[in-house]
Amino acid sequence: MTTISYRDAVRRALDEEMARDENVIFFGEDVGRSGGVFKVTPGLFEKYGETRVRDTPISETAIVGAGIGAAITGLRPVVELMFADFAAVTYDQIINQAAKMRYMSGGQIKVPLTIRMAQGGGMNFGAQHSQCCESWFMSTPGLKIAVPGTPADALGLLKTAIRDDNPVVFLEHKALYSDRAEVPDEEYLIPFGKATVVRAGRHVTLVAIQRMVQMALKAAEQLVHEGIECEVIDLRTLVPLDLDTVLRSLRKTNRLITIEEAPLAGGWGGFVVSQVLDEAIWTLDAPVIRVTMGEGIVPFSPPLENALIPDEHQVIAAIHRLGIKV
């Protein structure tokens, strides 16, 4: 095992897949000589050259459009959108073209396109550069959505995404880029649709992704002193969604809280809750709680941003609302 950062794990995945398959290409704004605005991809341009690693104009529409074209003609492009918020201007291409081409061609056309985007708050980038955008894409059949929260998950899920014959929206949380943790030294892939239980417990199930997993773990650590044992689940991918792991946990804890760095309306947690109510409502001993950002727009002000984005204190307050008796 080697300890590396989240950003280095992304770079390693790209490097290994480009070395393995000459059809893998990579392009986006400032990803070449400068190594990306978040310094995720240094060295790839020098190693693979300007044919396979390309800087693009400042046009997300052009980037995604070129990626779709490259994918349907036999390449395996990985494209980078500097901020996930900017995916809004590419919505038609992602939703109506990339997601539907394989179905509309009767399987004759594959779209092995990976769209990498940096998302999330906590960095004081303001309202148009700080959103978590996973729910924008969840209502579109034909897309897979990966949301890695650790270096190992970033490595394993990105390699899996690049090898997939379907379009993958690969969301990296920008506040996690400097996080360091162990990753396997050997080739490492993580199948989509496999959540992980990052902490075992018996009183309440906390379901989260990316940075919110850390908030769940911080809350769980503090509640140990009260005798409350939290089970923390990192979904890792939202499409496909591993509901079975959540249901197995609920059969033990009988209580559920989802933690989302996103507005309440339309959040992925609402979908998880609806599935739980369909499949396992009688396992619940208390109402389900969703910890979210409510209706707030991410502010530029650091104190206001910190107040809006859920933290361990909000998670602890939600758990206390359940009235757990130990």
CA distance 41 to 10: 8
Taking CA atoms, 23 is separated from 28, 38, 293, in Å, by 17, 25, 41
Catalytic-labelled residue, pool 17, 80, 129, 260: 129
The answer to whether 208 touches 183, Cβ cutoff 8 Å, is no
Give the pairing of strands 230-234 and 144-146.
unpaired
Q: What is the largest CA-CA distance in the chain?
A: 62
Q: At 102, list the tokens.
A: 């394989």
**DSSP at 120:** -
For residue 129, indicate whether it is catalytic. yes
CA distance 107 to 109: 6
136 class by beta-carbon count within 10 Å (0-12 exposed, 13-18 middle, 19+ buried): buried
CA distance 163 to 173: 22
Q: At 41, list the tokens.
A: 């991809």
Catalytic-labelled residue, pool 60, 231, 261, 312: 60
Nearest to 255, CA basis, from 189, 313, 318: 318
Consecutive H or E run containing 322: none
- Please, what's the b/e burial string for 242-274 (b: 16 or more CB within 10 A of its CB; e: otherwise)? bbebbbbbbeebbbbbbbbbbbeeebbbbbbbe
Q: What is the DSSP string of 216-268?
A: HHHHHHHHGGGT--EEEEE--EEETT-HHHHHHHHHHH--EEEE-SS-STT-H
For residue 313, indicate whether it is catalytic. no
Positions marked active-site: 60, 129
